[in-house]
Amino acid sequence: MFNNKIEALVNLYTVDNGELKILLFKKMDDPFKGYWMLPSNLMINKETIEECAEATISEKLGVNDVYTEPGIITTQIDRIPDTRIVGISMIAIIDTVKLNLNIEESEEYEWFNVDNIPKTIYDHGEIIKKTTDLFKTKLLNTKYLRKFFPSDFTMPELQKLFEQLLGKEIDRRNFRKKLLSLDIIENTNEKNVSMSGRPATLYSFKETDDKNVYYE
Q: Say if residues 5 and 85 touch (Cβ distance below 8 Å).
A: yes
Assess whether 108 carries a catalytic annotation.
yes
| Rounded distance between C-alpha atoms, residue 215 and residue 139, angstroms | 12
Residue among 89, 68, 70 at smallest CA distance from 79: 89
Q: Which of 108, 110, 186, 190 is catalytic?
A: 108
CA distance 213 to 14: 19
Answer yes or no: are the C-beta atoms of 172 and 159 closer than 8 Å: yes
Strands (E), the chain: 5-16, 19-26, 36-37, 40-42, 67-74, 85-93, 109-113, 153-154, 185-192, 200-205
Strand pairing partners for 92? Answer: 12, 68
Q: Mind telling me the catalytic residues?
A: 108
